[in-house]
Structure 1
């Protein structure tokens, strides 16, 4: 795959803004779209992420090598699948009842949210990451490679080459990675899991993942009572 130079972020909320700040600091060209017009988010972008370019969804996608979905999960179907065709896409979304409403109206109970996102954007390559650490931690705890107590992010997807590319990208953004090659494993980082909201080093993150099946949340998933 081509080297990532241009990063597009769909979503100008707290997570999208923080990821844009990190991407700019890492030397990427960044474009951001929000829920309203370009003019509506331009002042926000100019104030919080000077150097990023506000754009429409189409403008973000057409000019970017990598797309990050940082919108409420209940709104991903507002984006037409063909818009992200052939794109490498990071799913940084989670179901959250306060913003997404009733879970059964947003998600099929028989698979994980990222699997459903991949099924919807079936001509795109979805990789799950940036979803389990709070935006404050993302903003404050990015560190250069090799730094002591550097925090880590879980990265997973079904396409190994894409997962490795995203893991390299995450590293440039200031975080170590723990990598899996199964998109369904993203469930281990979603709300309800012991990883969600946690800010951990690579060793700590790996330890939690290694013992996931022993947790209450993991047991519920194995029993088919949680997704």
Structure 2
């Protein structure tokens, strides 16, 4: 059984955990307040989940998910995540994270910032432009007409392939945006952000996105 290590047990992290467990993964999940604060969530997730510290979740992971505020990525366990595929669900909320001039000027993306913080990991964008509740409620079987689509972006082909397979298991088609440098197309305030769309609609929304507001 493969292990998904989830760093960040908020709305997105807990829903990705549910999808993972439903598809045969073991989940090790962490937050910033300590494993003991996750007792209720782990009880709800069932026997294929346990709480841990961020470093423990990273070390246990075959694949990791980072779903924490952007301002905290420098606190991540770099060594424990070395060489691993890391799904990045983040978005830039300057109201929460403070102003990041590189992002304001359109010089980088949130995923590239995470890749910089985790230089030996294989970062790939995932689950950043869907509401948390929709992760477990809007997926449908492959081939369903109008099936909802989600975007990914990454510099590592194996990481992109993993997200594509994970999305499909969760009930979503995949649109590959390209490298991490193009992941801005699916970030906050772009046309593809948090709207329900099929693959053709998603491609169209990605194409009309503007780099800066």
TM-score (norm 1): 0.85
- Matches of 2:199 and 2:159 in 1, distance apart? 20
Aligned residues: 211
Would you say 1:202 and 2:186 are equivalent positions? no
Q: For 2:19, which of 14, 22, 26 is the aligned residue?
A: 22
In structure 1, what is the equivalent of residue 99 of structure 2? 103
In structure 2, what is the equivalent of residue 88 of structure 1? 85
In structure 2, what is the equivalent of residue 165 of structure 1? 162
In structure 1, what is the equivalent of residue 127 of structure 2? 130
- Matches of 1:98 and 1:31 in 2, distance apart? 30
Q: CA deviation at 1:180?
A: 3.2
Q: For 1:140, which of 133, 137, 143 is the aligned residue?
A: 137
- Matches of 1:211 and 1:191 in 2, distance apart? 14
Taking a change above 3 Å as real, the CA distance of residues 74 and 122 of structure 1, as seen in their structure-2 partners, is same
In structure 1, what is the equivalent of residue 68 of structure 2? 71
In structure 2, what is the equivalent of residue 117 of structure 1? 114
Alignment check: 8 A CA contact 1:133 1:197 kept: yes
Q: CA deviation at 1:158?
A: 0.9
Would you say 1:50 and 2:50 are equivalent positions? no
Deviation per CA, 1:51-95, whole angstroms, max 9, x where unpaired? 321111122122221101111111111113223111110001111
Q: For 2:180, which of 178, 183, 186 is the aligned residue?
A: 183
Specify the SS of the correspondent of 2:191: coil
- Matches of 2:39 and 2:176 in 1, distance apart? 35
Taking a change above 3 Å as real, the CA distance of residues 116 and 65 of structure 1, as seen in their structure-2 partners, is same
- Matches of 2:108 and 2:193 in 1, distance apart? 18
TM-score (norm 2): 0.91
- Matches of 1:69 and 1:75 in 2, distance apart? 10
Taking only aligned residues, the RMSD between alpha carbons, in angstroms, comes to 1.9
